[in-house]
Amino acid sequence: MNKVRDSVIPSSGQKPLVDSFKRPISYLRLSVTDRCDLRCSYCMPERMQFLPRKEVLSLEELYCLSLGFIARGVTKIRLTGGEPLVRRDIADLFRALGRHIGAGLEELTLTTNATQLAGHADALAAAGVRRVNISLDTRDRALFAELSRRDALPQVLEGIAAAKAAGLKVKLNTVALKGINEEEIPDLIGWAHGQGFDLTLIEVMPLGEIEEDRVDHYLPLSKVRGDLEQRWSLTPLPDNTGGPARYFRVGETGGRLGMITPLTKNFCSGCNRIRVTATGQLYPCLGGGERVDLRAALRSDEPERELERALEEAMAIKPQRHHFRIDRRGEMPAQPRHMSVTGG
Ligand code: SAM
Ligand code: SF4
């Protein structure tokens, strides 16, 4: 990471990012690659077309951009993708960013499918990562293979165990899918809580074309909550971890359950997030098409000035809310970008 030109690194103490609805922006989700070693069927098609590598920002550019955001008041950075741990030398970026924890950056974290986490957990902890979000939709090996189109559950469970052993606080993310993992949800929650992990359920979102119609497997979390309350007591918690989840304490397990409900209950009013793709496109909203090109700014003759201009534009165009919906015909119109491009 020492190849970064000093002139491109903005000085700190600049004005914090605030959008036109007066929401302070403190949380960056940075996609480090659109590639992935799984093919979860709700996320991407079997034959996903990945971006040519030359379009993707170098690790130095990703680092440099991150410093620009820290200088403008971003305190939390989540590296995501695609699968962040398939990017070669990604540990270097974690190490470089980790040096800024306590000096502007408060938290460095990642979202991963955990297939390669066993080989990275200790290095992540050493770099200053304290929490990790791991996606796990099922603990049934055959169903996992069907859903992700790869027989990788053993590696994933090994990765989860390695994260725990390295002292990382684990949160599991589970996309709730009607007729797929619906019946297994209570078992997954029970298992996660037994391991000392939080678990957050997510409603499937219409992001990018896939082979199937997502609405067929859309499971509203209002229904899941009703079903869970038949067996457990769920007490709403005031906790806010900086993301869009609402939390509950499950009385019988003692664990924490999160719910992310972009369709049944919009979470936009408190949005503090922006997303940057692996090609340096800043999307101020996951559900909208608005974007500014940070790669062009970064590679221009006056990177510092152009980055400032691009960030101001991003603040001006961040929409008030997303418009995910199921329309009157019962269809879920998809945004053109896959979650793996914008970063989960
Ligand atoms: N590959 C990593 C992983 O799976 O954790 C990080 C990227 S993935 C795109 C981030 C999160 O987005 C995962 O928890 C995944 O389940 C979720 N996701 C992907 N496509 C989704 C969709 N269409 N609706 C809701 N969640 C989705
Ligand atoms: Fe890969 Fe994550 Fe998408 Fe699954 S959800 S295909 S692991 S990017």
Query: Maximum Cα–Cα distance for the chain, whole Å?
Result: 62
Task: State the pLDDT at residue 300.
Answer: 95
Question: Which residues does residue 273 pair with via DSSP β-bridges, in sequence order?
Answer: 27
Q: What is the mean pLDDT of residues 233-254?
A: 88
Q: Is the pLDDT of residue 338 over 80?
A: no
CB of 133 closer than 6 A to ligand 2?
Answer: no
207 CA closest ligand 1 atom index = 23
Rounded-to-10 torsion of CA 143, 146, 149, 155: 20
Percent with pLDDT over 90 in the chain:
73
Question: Across residues 19-29, what is the average pLDDT?
Answer: 92
Mean pLDDT value across residues 19-27: 91
Our answer on whether the CB atom of 17 is closer than 6 Å to any ligand 2 atom is no
- As beta bridge partners, residue 200 has 173, 258
Mean predicted confidence (pLDDT) in 297-305: 94
SS3 state at 74 = coil
pLDDT of the residue at 4: 42
Full-model pTM: 0.92
CA pseudo-torsion sign 152, 125, 96, 61: positive
Atom of ligand 1 nearest to the CA of 83: 1
Predicted pLDDT of residue 3: 44
pLDDT at position 144 over 50? yes
Please work out whether the CB of residue 83 comes within 6 Å of at least one atom of ligand 2: yes
**pLDDT mean across residues, the chain:** 90
Handedness of CA 341, 336, 210, 175 (dihedral sign): positive
Report the candidate in 195, 305, 317, 315 with the shortest Cα–Cα distance to residue 255.
Answer: 195
User: What fold does the segment set 27-342 form as a domain?
Assistant: TIM Barrel (3.20.20)
Ligand closest in space to the Cα of 262: 1
The C-alpha atoms of residue 221 and residue 236 are separated, in whole angstroms, by 14
Q: Across residues 96-113, what is the average pLDDT? A: 97
With a 6 Å cutoff on the Cβ, whether 173 touches ligand 2 is no
> Pick from 218, 185, 174: which is nearest to 330 by CA?
218
Q: What is the DSSP letter of 200?
A: E
Range 85-114 burial, b when 16+ CB lie within 10 A, else e: bbbeebbebbbbbbebbeebbebbbbbbbb
Residue in the block written with tokens 């305190």: 75
Pocket of ligand 1 (CB under 6 A): 36, 42-43, 80-81, 83, 111-113, 135, 173, 175, 202, 204-205, 207, 339-340, 344
Over residues 79-92, the pLDDT tens digits come to: 999 999 999 999 99
Which ligand 1 atom is at minimum distance from the Cα of 42?
A: 23
Mutate which of 35, 85, 110, 202 for ligand 1 pocket (most atoms within 8 A of beta carbon): 202
Q: How confident is the model at residue 270 (pLDDT cuts 50, 70, 90)?
A: confident
Q: Whose CA is nearest to atom 14 of ligand 1?
A: 135
